Amino acid sequence: MDEQIQTEQSGRPSVVKMMVFLIIVTIVAGIVYYFRDSVSRFVEDTFKTEKSVNDEMLVIAYAEGLTSFDPANYDVRNRKFLGNIYEGLTRFDKNLALEPCLAISWGQIDQFTWEFKLRDEVYFHDGTIFDSADVLASINYAMDDENSQMMSVLSSIENVEATDDLTVLITTNKIDPILPNRLAYINVFPSDEDVQDAPIGTGPYSAISYNVSSDSGDSELVLRYFSYYWGFKPSYESVKIVSISDSEKREEALLNGEIDVLANVAPESVADLETAGISVVTQPSLEVNFFLFNTESVFEDVVLREAFAMAVDTEDLVSGFSEYAQVADQFVGKGVSGYDSTIKMPAYDADGAKSVFEENEVFDFSIAMADGMEELGGYLQDMFAFGAGVEVNAEYLSAADLTLAMTEGSYDVYFTGWKSELGDAVDLYETVFHSKDEFYGAYNVGYENSEVDELIEESFSESDSMERISILKEIMHILIEEDLAGVPLFESKFIYGFSEGVSWSSRVDGYILAAEF
């Protein structure tokens, strides 16, 4: 193999026969799904004698609840819940470094073929033993099911096959160096289970029940430590993940000790919570928001694109728009492969921008933004009108209409964002900045540079990790310092609240996983 990543397997006893029954019960107060109605006597005895697991229940609260238990649902709201139950072949650590999970090692046989060696003696929450058949079923489901939201993530996969119970070969239709990164988001489930019936994974926690209130729509998912989990034991035996739609009720629940962790702290509530003794932690979200130029419009000339950047006082705009955001100087955040700390944006110079716009007789331009961004749009309009003497015609579109507008190239500028959850800039590059063709540029709004195209494609075939990172940085250099294909604006921050005694180390990707407390 050209490249191999490997860790030792965790040894564990061979146990488990029968563990889960699914019962669906409808009650007046709401709908409750009981995922485990009874547990074998062996498991009960194990729970009773387990001393290293905290008997207290950890309660985590979000603003929004689950919309689906489907393992191929890519909605971030659902992954916050299901990430405690399911696992992939790989996973990201707290610093977004890729590490083994259900696969203990992987490597390339050739440019288009990957081999994954699977972890032995792993059990699903229903007691079945994990093997290659489950990997095939899970990947094929994510690729082919009509309701799957993972098709684009796995678009590079041509074929998946098992050579034995613990070996899987994946063939791609193009060179894809970050295939192992993509597989971190493919939830593996038992091949003989109906995925719609219950969430059954291999993770540290199994689902016990799920309740939705018919009055408020708020929900709670109850989890319990799976004592036959292959990895390290978590600190808490029981976990409840709740959704509370009312922001005041969320914060009241945190203050009253009803919840331990609040994932959606409103910026205006931070001071009150800290005064009450709540620990408030912020974490960059990896989601960078930026302006994209339609280079087939008024901003065809890079001089005008530079004038746009000079007219935007990003420090003032970001601080005025939100205290809990930080200025971005590139299209990906720090910690993502491709970020280069040496790259510099054009400095703020409203007078210089005004001169360029006047010289080129540019007096207005159009910008497409998402619904709900009116405050930011108004701020931008004032900045350009009073500083650069240019009128900004802002239109606010639904997510679907904004996506359509980007594919049609009907505006001069687009305000959008990208979350680099794969820990690598190439996903952004191939989707947004590569020239549009059969495989690339799905959301390219007009930018074209053959050198950038070649570098993006070269990054797919480069096996040396350091050389590949150099290529990704070179692409960013061209996009920012030479072509200025867009203007990075800010990276939003997550704001968390923690009750006294709860210890947690934040993740770069912002996820809250109960096993990490």
**Closest Cα partner for 59 from 469, 505, 497?**
497
Give pLDDT tens digits for 146-156.
989 899 889 89
What mean pLDDT is predicted for residues 212-217?
88
pLDDT over 50 (residue 316): yes
Interatomic CA distance for residues 499 and 39, integer angstroms: 32
User: Where in the sequence of the chain do the CATH 3.40.190.10 domains occur?
Assistant: 5-263+499-516
Residue-level pLDDT at 317: 85
Give pLDDT tens digits for 427-445.
899 999 999 987 789 889 9
Beta partners for residue 162, in sequence order = 168
Q: Residue 216 — very low, low, confident or very high, per pLDDT cuts 50/70/90? A: confident
What mean pLDDT is predicted for residues 63-82?
90
pLDDT over 50 (residue 296): yes
pLDDT over 50 (residue 290): yes
User: Where in the sequence of the chain do the CATH 3.10.105.10 domains occur?
Assistant: 284-493
What mean pLDDT is predicted for residues 165-188?
95
Residue-level pLDDT at 38: 33
Region of 160 (left: φ > 0; alpha: ψ -120 to 50; beta: rest) is beta
- Stated pTM of the model: 0.77
- Assigned CATH for 5-263+499-516: 3.40.190.10
Beta partners for residue 113, in sequence order = 110, 171
Domain 284-493, second-level architecture:
Roll (3.10)
Q: Residue 32 — very low, low, confident or very high, per pLDDT cuts 50/70/90? A: low
Residue-level pLDDT at 334: 87
3-state secondary structure of 230: coil
Number of neighbouring beta carbons within 10 Å of residue 204:
24
**Closest Cα partner for 511 from 81, 43, 10?**
81
In the structure, how many helices (H) and strands (E) does the chain have? 14, 20
Residue-level pLDDT at 421: 85
Q: Residue 1 — very low, low, confident or very high, per pLDDT cuts 50/70/90? A: very low
Residue-level pLDDT at 35: 59
Block residue for tokens 């490597």? 107
Give pLDDT tens digits for 373-425.
999 999 999 999 999 999 999 999 998 899 899 988 899 999 999 989 888 99
What mean pLDDT is predicted for residues 309-317?
93
Percent residues over pLDDT 90 in the chain: 68
Residue-level pLDDT at 53: 53
Residue-level pLDDT at 40: 34
pLDDT over 50 (residue 2): no
pLDDT over 80 (residue 42): no
CA distances for 236 relative to 51, 92, 203, 316, 402, angstroms: 11, 21, 14, 44, 43
pLDDT over 60 (residue 233): yes
Residue-level pLDDT at 285: 85
Summary mean pLDDT of the chain: 87
Percent residues over pLDDT 70 in the chain: 89
